[in-house]
């Protein structure tokens, strides 16, 4: 390779010929230019497609519907947000938030022992089996899983057959007779909706929690036991505080995904609407785009506050 001498007597590589060589030399001399060219396409995508659509959605929420003609009135007003405070719409928001909170809590309770076992005891082939078992449900079709659960929870489904063989059908009948959680069968009840939500989003809770538990030093747990702490005290005062960022990180996924989902409660559950179903109904069937946009802003605001609190708790370190 040819070299050329500099004025100071040092040697530098000679510039390569052609367009490719010129560009390579230019990027080498100005790395900021290369960084700019690499970041521009994704930033444009984020700014125009994602943030632009959110901004357009926000603008739509400040419009209203003319009750006589059904046309969108493109004038700034808070009338549409006032409609969210109607008892029927407020009931949709409260129902969705409560369901998302219950799904998140249940997922955390179920996921913690699974994640703890994987972080502390699973090694080699067993750890590979753990990841395979957690990830395998995510590889199957979303709709197939939901319809499979509809068959499982139906009155003539597998679950009903098992309880019938064990002569425990009265337990299901008694539960379905309860006013808030019951229904004609588990497949058309809030309980069925809750069970399917937990099943579908559980992997998103297990993985961040397992990552956080792996970062907990084992010697801290051993020191707590050496100092006379009971297993319960070690869990409450040592393990749980250190694993809390992982729990919060997992809750971001389970809470937000439940908050915006409209397919599961549409297939499994009662006729009571959730936020996602309300957005779908107002934008598609009713044609009330401003109200659909206002409903969409609700989970955005809720998750914005939730993410701010999660960041303060250090949850992003476990993502």
Q: Is the same domain home to 24 and 126?
A: no
Model confidence, pTM = 0.82
Dihedral over Cα of 257, 258, 264, 266: its sign: negative
Tell me how far CA of residue 217 lies from CA of 114, 119, 171, in angstroms. 18, 11, 44
Residue 66 falls within a domain, yes or no?
no
Residue 74 falls within a domain, yes or no?
no
Spatial separation of the C-alpha atoms in residues 255 and 259, rounded to whole Å: 6
Spatial separation of the C-alpha atoms in residues 164 and 147, rounded to whole Å: 22
Q: Tell me the pLDDT tens digit for each residue of 109-129.
A: 999 999 998 888 888 888 888
Mean pLDDT, residues 12-37: 69
pLDDT band at residue 90 under the 50/70/90 scheme: very high
Spatial separation of the C-alpha atoms in residues 248 and 99, rounded to whole Å: 17
Q: How many CA atoms lie within 13 A of 3 on its CB side?
A: 6
Residue 60 falls within a domain, yes or no?
no
Number of domains within the chain: 2
Q: Is the same domain home to 84 and 44?
A: no
Q: Is the same domain home to 33 and 120?
A: no
Q: Is the same domain home to 103 and 24?
A: no
Q: Is the same domain home to 23 and 139?
A: no
Q: Is the same domain home to 115 and 169?
A: yes
* DSSP H or E run through 12: strand 11-13
Distant-in-sequence, close-in-space partners of 1: CB < 8 Å, separation ≥ 6:
13, 14
Judged against a pLDDT cut of 70, whether residue 1 lies above it is answered with no
Residue 83 falls within a domain, yes or no?
yes
Residue 219 falls within a domain, yes or no?
yes
Spatial separation of the C-alpha atoms in residues 160 and 187, rounded to whole Å: 11
Spatial separation of the C-alpha atoms in residues 144 and 149, rounded to whole Å: 9
Residue 5 falls within a domain, yes or no?
no
Q: What percent of the chain has pLDDT over 90?
A: 32
pLDDT at residue 58, as a whole number: 87
CA 229 to chain centroid, in Å, comes to 36
Q: How many residues does the chain have?
A: 319
Domain limits at 33? 18-50
Q: Is the same domain home to 264 and 150?
A: yes
Q: Which of 50, 71, 92 is the last residue of a domain?
A: 50
Q: What is the dihedral of CA 245, 249, 254, 258, to 10 degrees?
A: 110
Q: What percent of the chain has pLDDT over 70?
A: 90
Residue 59 falls within a domain, yes or no?
no
């Amino acid at each position: 390779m040819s070299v050329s001498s500099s004025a100071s007597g040092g040697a530098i590589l000679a510039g390569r010929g052609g367009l490719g060589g010129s560009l390579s030399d230019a990027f080498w001399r100005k790395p900021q230019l290369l960084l700019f060219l690499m970041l521009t396409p994704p930033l444009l995508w984020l700014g125009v497609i994602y943030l632009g659509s959110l901004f357009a959605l926000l603008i739509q929420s400040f419009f209203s519907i003319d009750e006589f003609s059904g046309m969108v009135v493109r004038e700034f007003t808070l009338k549409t947000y006032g409609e969210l405070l109607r008892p029927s719409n407020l009931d949709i928001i409260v129902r969705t938030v409560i369901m998302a909170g219950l799904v998140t809590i249940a997922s955390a309770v179920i996921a913690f022992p699974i994640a703890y076992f994987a972080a502390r005891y699973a090694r080699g082939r067993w750890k590979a089996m753990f990841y395979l078992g957690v990830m395998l449900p995510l590889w199957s079709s979303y709709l197939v899983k939901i319809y499979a659960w509809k068959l499982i929870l139906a009155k003539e489904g597998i679950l009903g057959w098992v309880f019938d063989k064990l002569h425990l059908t009265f337990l299901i009948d008694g539960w379905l007779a309860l006013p808030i959680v019951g229904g004609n069968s588990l497949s058309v009840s809030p309980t069925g909706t809750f069970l399917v939500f937990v099943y579908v989003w559980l992997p998103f809770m297990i993985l961040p929690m397992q990552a956080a538990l792996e970062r907990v030093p084992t010697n801290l747990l051993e020191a707590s036991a050496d100092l006379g702490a009971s297993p319960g005290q070690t869990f409450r005062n040592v393990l749980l505080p250190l694993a809390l960022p992982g729990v919060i990180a997992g809750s971001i996924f389970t809470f937000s995904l439940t908050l915006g989902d409209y397919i599961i409660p549409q297939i499994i559950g009662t006729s009571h609407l959730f936020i996602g179903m309300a957005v779908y109904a107002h934008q598609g069937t009713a044609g009330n785009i401003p109200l659909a946009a206002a409903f969409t802003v609700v989970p955005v605001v809720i998750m914005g506050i939730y993410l701010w609190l999660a960041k303060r708790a250090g949850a992003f370190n476990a993502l």
